[in-house]
Amino acid sequence: MATYNVVDLSSVLRTLCDLNAQGQPWPGPSAAREQHHHDQAKPPSHTRTPPTDLATITTWPAALRHVMRTVGQSEETQLRIRGLIRSQHTHERQWWKGREALLAKQAARGDKKKELDAVLRSIGAPVDPKEISTVAEDRAELTNYDEKVYKASAQMAEAMAAELRGMGIPFFGTVRNEAVNDDEAKLTASELHHLQSRMLELLQDLCKE
């Protein structure tokens, strides 16, 4: 998994974005001094940059610029995302341990039955041929557990998506899929899922503890 330098990459992205918008080459020392004096002569501006409409972010480069500008420079948002990641990992560990415990319980039932049968045979007592639980019953029990875990994980994913949407993370809210022009393709469900997975990987890298 790739690692991102939050400060450096954010600065580079802003610079590239500014240069692309101006359509100008990299300024030399002289141009930089002239720009500095020009900026000093400008009256202060009180206009604010309008917030980004997340529904219009449908490409990875645009999403990357937005996240590096917001999450990458907000310790509070990073802390919230770390909390979500910890919660997810905790639940996944609990579900896995529960499954392992169920398998162990099923194996123990069979072992105890065998031990009891051996004792009964040793003293000449009748042995009940019926199994405590059949293979099919054990499989059904395990399937039922897996279905409950799947439902719980789906609910957790929905809750996390809502949290990320509230934090302004691209691809987890409404995506405006209408093509602006003929050259712009619409996102399919598969593409959106891929972008969401890619965004989660980026967030985990940005918010490592």
Report if residue 43 sits inside a domain: no
Report if residue 22 sits inside a domain: no
Note the pLDDT of residue 185.
Answer: 52
CA–CA gap between residue 131 and residue 45 (Å, rounded): 82
- Reply yes or no on whether the pLDDT at 200 is more than 90: yes
Please write the tens of the pLDDT for every residue from 63-118: 999 999 889 888 899 999 999 999 999 999 999 999 999 998 888 877 777 777 67
> Mean of the pLDDT values across residues 36-47?
45
Positive or negative, the CA dihedral 96, 99, 104, 105 is positive
CA–CA gap between residue 121 and residue 127 (Å, rounded): 7
Cα angle, residue 63 at apex, residues 161 and 195 outer, rounded to 5°: 55
> Mean of the pLDDT values across residues 138-161?
93
Report if residue 16 sits inside a domain: no
Report if residue 132 sits inside a domain: yes
Report if residue 117 sits inside a domain: yes
* Predicted confidence band of residue 23 (pLDDT cuts 50, 70, 90): very low
Counting every residue, how long is the chain? 209
Domains held by the chain: number: 1
Domain encompassing residue 88: 6-10+52-206
Report if residue 129 sits inside a domain: yes
Report if residue 99 sits inside a domain: yes
Report if residue 112 sits inside a domain: yes
